[in-house]
């Protein structure tokens, strides 16, 4: 592997590590904020996350840490609004469904993404990749899914949340490649539209789900501290989400998201003394095996530099991106995603949240 390949591999490892650490950190922070302090206004909090992210990136732009690269305004606006809508739908899905059904909604994002990429982008997923994803989904399901109470409105909202999240994550990857923009440049331009969408609908959505007014909440110094901390961590979460999807793929990002879910369960047990059963342990072990198989098969199936010319490898892309990339030619995406342990109340989620 050449120097460029080694740099890409290190960059991918760094992006994945940053995504895991920041996502797990924000889940712990938000769990303290929502469960312990009673601030349960998830959608409004997410709009603040995006606003702080945009302000941070604007400061970085003024310091010339990255270059502003404008491109098709309608694409950016549509992408930003779609991301905002997907986050709102995920929160609505959690509000109208049981926690177990919400977990099933998150699990359905991977197969839905695979189907969409197969139909519209003609990507090929080998049987080994499909098998490893099945093992992963089964393990996460065993570890996290409990009750499965169904209702018509909740099912419709979950379906809409799945579709919009998949499209948003696929667009994250596609836009970066089509317009040759970095994850930072895309995030900087789309953040205002995402933040504005959630800032407008957030108070109404949170009020509908919680029967409380976000503006009437008692903002104690402790609450303000955790809100500020959550917003600061969100900068890293949002940035790493775009970075990971751009360097790998939407499916790989979802696989990483389920790793975060397992880590959140483990950290919750160790640090917060959450209840933990044999199902959780068995499910996490199965999920880890599935993630290992996914990374192994992606690495084995990744095209080698000598197998095709650079022009061919740039145009013909398949789902052959391991969690830790093994080749520069395997180069390729957070919604809300949404890969964190759900609470009994609408939690912070990101299409990217999905922590």
The answer to whether the predicted template modeling score (pTM) of the entire model surpasses 0.75 is: no
Residue 5 in tokens: 């390949």
Tell me the C-alpha distance between 337 and 102, whole Å: 13
Q: Which string of DSSP letters, residue by residue, matches 45-65?
A: HHHHHHHHHHHHHHHHHHTTS
pLDDT of residue 306: 45
- Choose among 203, 231, 187, 215: nearest CA to 79: 187
Give the pLDDT mean for 261-278: 64
Lowest-confidence region among 207-211, 269-273, 337-341: 337-341
Residue 125 clears pLDDT 50, i.e. is over it: yes
C-alpha separations of 32 from 35, 102, 185, 355 in Å? 5, 21, 32, 15
322-335: pLDDT as tens digits? 333 332 232 233 33
145-155: pLDDT as tens digits? 666 666 778 88
Tell me the C-alpha distance between 210 and 208, whole Å: 6
């Amino acid at each position: 592997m050449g120097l460029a390949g080694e740099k890409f591999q290190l960059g991918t490892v760094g992006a994945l590590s940053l995504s895991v650490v920041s996502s797990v950190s924000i889940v712990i922070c938000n769990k303290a904020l929502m469960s312990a302090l009673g601030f349960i206004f998830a959608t409004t909090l997410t709009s603040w996350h995006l606003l702080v992210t945009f302000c941070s990136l604007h400061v970085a732009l003024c310091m010339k840490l990255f270059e502003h690269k404008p491109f098709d305004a309608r694409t950016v606006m549509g992408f930003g609004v779609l991301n905002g809508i997907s986050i709102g739908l995920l929160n609505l899905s959690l509000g109208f469904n049981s926690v177990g059904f919400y977990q099933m909604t998150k699990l359905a994002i991977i197969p839905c993404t695979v189907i969409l990429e197969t139909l519209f982008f003609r990507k090929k997923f080998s049987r080994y990749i499909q098998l490893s994803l099945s093992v992963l989904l089964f393990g996460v399901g065993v570890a996290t899914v409990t009750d499965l109470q169904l209702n018509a409105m909740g099912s419709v909202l979950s379906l809409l949340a799945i579709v919009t999240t998949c499209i948003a994550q696929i667009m994250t990857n596609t836009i970066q490649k089509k317009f040759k923009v970095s994850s930072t440049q895309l995030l900087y331009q789309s953040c205002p539209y995402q933040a504005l969408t959630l800032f407008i609908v957030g108070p109404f959505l949170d009020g509908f789900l919680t029967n409380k007014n976000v503006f009437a909440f008692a903002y104690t110094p402790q609450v303000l501290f955790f809100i500020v901390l959550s917003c600061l961590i969100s900068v890293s979460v949002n940035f790493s989400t775009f970075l990971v999807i751009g360097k790998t793929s939407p499916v790989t990002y979802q696989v990483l998201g389920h790793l975060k879910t397992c880590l959140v369960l483990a950290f919750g047990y160790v640090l917060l003394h959450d209840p933990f059963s044999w199902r959780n342990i068995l499910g996490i072990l199965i999920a880890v095996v599935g993630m290992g198989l996914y990374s192994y098969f992606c690495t084995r199936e990744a095209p080698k530099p000598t197998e095709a010319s650079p022009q061919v490898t740039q145009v013909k892309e398949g789902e052959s991106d391991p969690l830790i990339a093994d080749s520069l030619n395997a180069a390729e995406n957070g919604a809300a995603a949404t890969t964190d342990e759900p609470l009994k109340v609408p939690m912070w989620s990101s299409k990217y949240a999905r922590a």
